[in-house]
Amino acid sequence: MSRPAPLWRLIDEGPLDGPANMALDEALLGCFDPKSSLPVLRLYGWEPPALSVGRYQDAAAALDLALCAADGVPVVRRMTGGGIIFHADELTYSLVCAPEQVGDAAGVKEGFRRLCAFLLGTYQKLGLDAAFATDVNPAGAVLGQRTAFCFAGKEDFDVLVRGRKIGGNAQRRLRGAILQHGSIPLKNRVRDGQRYLADPVAGQTDAVSLAELGLMPETGALKVLLIEAFQERLGVVLQPSALTDAERALMAELEQTKYRNSDWNLGKP
């Protein structure tokens, strides 16, 4: 008799603003017990649009903060590394799990391959030929170079369609758990984000979105495809779940003390 597929929690609180989104991601990680908690997949959006900076970036050096303030564009620092991202017109995901819950015995890179496989499945369900950058990397091309703007560079397990980067993913491992988040761009808003860079030239990119590929799926329908691909690729069952009282309490605390605090968002890393 085959074993039942492992359960994962599916959390969808709808779109939130930047500080609330990052506080909730960290709260899910902070309340996760690698030995006893069910792993989590969270789906969300950003309202209003916001800029996020990587954990190790100097926001004041990388961004024109005066222009951000003048345009009312929030800036929030992520727990994960990587470059600046302008979040608008995208379906964002985060997941929290223990390495053992995804059979991750081969290290960080293999963990990325396994945890990003559902993105390939989602794009393939949309009729797109998607692949990891490391699997289609042209001879001589350089992966993994650090860039101030997320979409200006390519990492090994970024997803490419027609040779162009679609979305991005970042990961943090802490206390025996993995936090990973990334996005599926519905429309290409990269140019909107570039104007807030201190050096806009550094943000030149060939990123692509679903709309540019001739696809305009409704967000709810896209979520259905993503959920199907996630269950198929990871061999799990997603179970809709509300936040626990502990997760809500920690989210509220982090939101007020950290993610709405300019010392964290804009200070020196």
Question: What is the per-residue pLDDT across 189-240, written as a single tens digit (0 to 9) for each?
Answer: 988 999 999 987 665 677 899 999 999 999 999 999 999 999 999 999 999 9
Per-residue model confidence as pLDDT tens for the chain (269 residues) = 568 899 999 999 999 999 999 999 999 999 999 999 999 999 999 999 999 999 999 999 999 999 999 999 999 999 998 889 999 999 999 999 999 898 765 567 777 888 999 999 999 999 999 999 888 875 445 445 555 555 545 677 889 999 899 988 888 999 899 999 999 999 999 889 999 999 876 656 778 999 999 999 999 999 999 999 999 999 999 999 999 999 999 999 999 999 999 999 998 77
Q: What is the domain range of residue 148? A: 7-266
Which pLDDT score is estimated for 28?
Answer: 98
Residues 162 and 208 sit within 8 Å (Cβ to Cβ)? yes
Asked whether residue 1 is assigned to any structural domain, the reply reads no
Asked whether residue 228 is assigned to any structural domain, the reply reads yes
Asked whether residue 2 is assigned to any structural domain, the reply reads no
- Whether the upstream peptide bond of residue 19 has omega within 30° of 0, thus cis, is no
The CA-CA-CA angle for residues 143, 85, 173, to 5°, reads 65
Which pLDDT score is estimated for 140?
Answer: 47
Asked whether residue 66 is assigned to any structural domain, the reply reads yes
Which pLDDT score is estimated for 147?
Answer: 55
Which pLDDT score is estimated for 201?
Answer: 66
Confidence (pTM): 0.91
What strands, in cross-sheet order, belong to the sheet with 50-53?
75-77, 50-53, 85-87
Render the burial of 3-20: b for 16+ CB within 10 Å, e for the rest.
Answer: eeeeebbbbebeebbbbb
Residues 222, 205: Cα–Cα separation, whole Å = 25
CATH number for position 66:
3.30.930.10
Asked whether residue 160 is assigned to any structural domain, the reply reads yes
Which pLDDT score is estimated for 203?
Answer: 54
Asked whether residue 37 is assigned to any structural domain, the reply reads yes
Residues 138, 144: Cα–Cα separation, whole Å = 14
Task: Fill in the DSSP letter of residue 122.
Answer: H
Task: Fill in the DSSP letter of residue 259.
Answer: I
Instruction: Report the number of distinct structural domains present in the chain.
Output: 1
Side chain identity at 5, as an amino acid letter? A
Asked whether residue 244 is assigned to any structural domain, the reply reads yes
Asked whether residue 127 is assigned to any structural domain, the reply reads yes
Determine whether 150 is an active site residue. yes
